[in-house]
Structure formats: C-alpha cells, structure tokens
Structure 1
Amino acid sequence: MWSRTTGVGVSLGCVLGAVCSISCWLIHASTYPGGLSDFIANTGRGLPMLTGNVIAIIAGGVICSTVSFFTSTPETDQVDWNETRDIDNPLKPWTQIYKTELNLKPTGRYHDRPSLETFEEVYGQEKRIAWILGGGISFIMVFVWPLLMLESVVQDQLRFLVWTGVSQAWTFGATFYIIVVPFVEEVIEVYGQYKKKKEENRAGVITPFIN
C-alpha cells in the first residue's frame, strides 16, 4: 500500500542513496594510484563502480524502509488505506469479487467497505506468503545471483553466457509480465463487458443504477 510516509521514504531513499553511492564510488576510486586526479581511469575501474552500485541498492532500500517505518502511524495508515480503496475497477468492483471471502452483505452501496483490520485478519496468510516470497526472490536476485560470479575469478565463455542469458531472460520475462499482461487483461475485461452490454441492449434488458 502506497502512503504519504512511503512517498517521503522513497524520496529520501533516492536522494540520500545517490549521495551515498557517489561518495563511496569516489572514495574507492581515490584509493588507486593517482587518486581522483586520474579521474577517468580510476572511476572507470570495475571494483569502484561495483561498490557504487551495491551501495546505491542497499542504502536506498534501507533509508526508504527506515523512514517509512518510523514515520508511519495507525492513523495515517487508516487514512491512506481508505484513499487506496477508492481506486476501483468500475467494470468489476472489488466488493463484488471478494464478497464471499469477506462475508460482505449486499447493501447496494459499493462504498460500504470493510475495515483494514478485517482485511488483515482474512488475508493474513497471503500477506505473510507475499513477504516471504517477495523478500526471498529479492535476496536471491540482489545478493545470491551476483555472488555466483565470484565463484571463479575468470569465467569461461560458456559459464558467462549461461549467467548473462538467465539474467536477461529473467529481466525480459518480468518486464513482459508487468507491462503486457495487465494491459491484455484489461482489454479482455473491457471487451467482455462491451459484449455483455451489447447483448443486454439487444434483449431489451435495462441494468439498474445502484447508488
């Protein structure tokens, strides 16, 4: 769930993470012969650039998480949750989708929605699974997978191609799913509603408006 405190954390994470990354990158580069006076050669070395990238990932994540955690309160969480719930798909309101799981009674008022505590109680297990799988995959891709390159100082061509191939396949696959799949699902949903409405109009069925 996105909140104001999360926005502040993300902003600080981006700015301070960049400052930490650039600082560590330059400090590491300055330890080589010639220091920063030989700027192009030393800052272009592999290890200083690796240091900057790793610090950028770690510092940005830690700063964002820390600021969001210590600036968040139950009151702001409730306000942000209510605003987030107002984002809905008019073609298929979520109160109709989850009415069985949440035991929602038909009131005819779509804005009568259960509290945040109800969601946490019903979907507590799903939340834990998301935390474990999301954190586990992030740990593997950010730490474990890059560390595999350190198994051998010099990689042969086949091992390097396998490593880069899997990385690229993962990246393109994730990008495709994130960008294309939601768009296709929405197009299919809109087209299905269009066909349904067209059939209702042809049959003379009037869909009542519920406020």
Structure 2
Amino acid sequence: MSARDEILGRVRAALAEASPAVAVPAAPRVPDRGDLVALFDERVADYRAVVTRCAAADLAAAVAGALAGASVVVPPGLDLEIDGAVVDDGLTAAELDRIDAVVTRARVGIAETGTIVLDHAPDQGRRAISLVPDLHVCIVDVSQVVPDVPDAIALLDPARPTTWISGPSATSDIELDRVEGVHGPRTLHVLLVG
C-alpha cells in the first residue's frame, strides 16, 4: 500500500465515522402553469414595469396601445406588423436615440425573479435596440414562463449572448436617489400573451 492510499484510507474512515446521516429534502412542488404566469406577472409588476395580459389575437392592438403613437424600432425577425416601425438594419446609437420605443419578443420569462431573458434571436434583435430607446415593449408568451433561474438556463444556448431584464433600467448610485433610464429603457411594458 502506498502512502497516498494509506492517507486516503484514513480520511475515508474519519469521514465515515464523523458524517451523520443527511436528510434529503422533498422535491419542491412545481406550481401549475396558471400559478407560474400569475407569479411572473406579479414579480414583473413589482419592478415598476407595466404588464398587460392579452390573447394572441389581440396582440397587435395591445402593442399599438403600449406604443401610444411613439416612434418605434423593431428587430428584423419580429414577424408582427407595426405601423410606422423602422426595422433595425444596424442603426447607429445616435439613430436609435432618436427613436422612442422598441418592440421585441423574449426567449424566456422567469416567474420567481420576474426576469425576462433575451438571447438576441431574429425576433429579439441585437442588444443595442433593447437598451437605447426609452420604452421597451417586450412580448412574452405564457408558454415561455419557467419557474426559476436554473430552468431558464437549461433553455439557453451558452454560445449566444443574453440580456437579462428585471424591470426598467434604474440605479440608486448617486446619493441613494432612484434614477430611471440611465443604463437602458426608462419604461418596460411586458405583453403577456396567452
């Protein structure tokens, strides 16, 4: 027996004697789809975001209502007609700054944290369009809502860039006064479809 094997044997023996039985907790209850969507709605609203529930057939009208006549940019793969929308074809930051709003879809919504994740697929566009305009209208289908962060990570491709959004952009860096819109959109309007 080598010295290594002897030392490891002593460690194993000591651990076996010192380790009490560990109780395995019961598996957490997975909420039903209705509970998940209600929790997501509640948590997103807690961040001072606007949440509007609508049916798929009413989505175009809900988007128009959220925009209220604002100028808007959309990603090239949005697949939703929006009157007067500019399709992003690589607009500069200055050009995006002159646009009031952006409409995107989301990759996933996280119920526990009220977080929306974009993975910048064609229906979500590049990161700049979700950060520069002052209003972000984000479409989340109820089927995209998952219970928690690990559930969301399991759906994401680690090779793709992601943007995690928990409410409108806000900071309290200066004298602990809350200031919105410093690092992204001042207003987040989530359209929860289904």
**Structure exhibiting the larger radius of gyration computed from Cα positions:** 1
Q: TM-score, normalised by structure 1?
A: 0.23
| Structure that is richer in helix per residue | 1
| Structure that is richer in strand per residue | 2
Q: TM-score, normalised by structure 2?
A: 0.25
* Structure number with higher relative contact order (C-alpha < 8 Å, ≥ 6 residues apart): 2
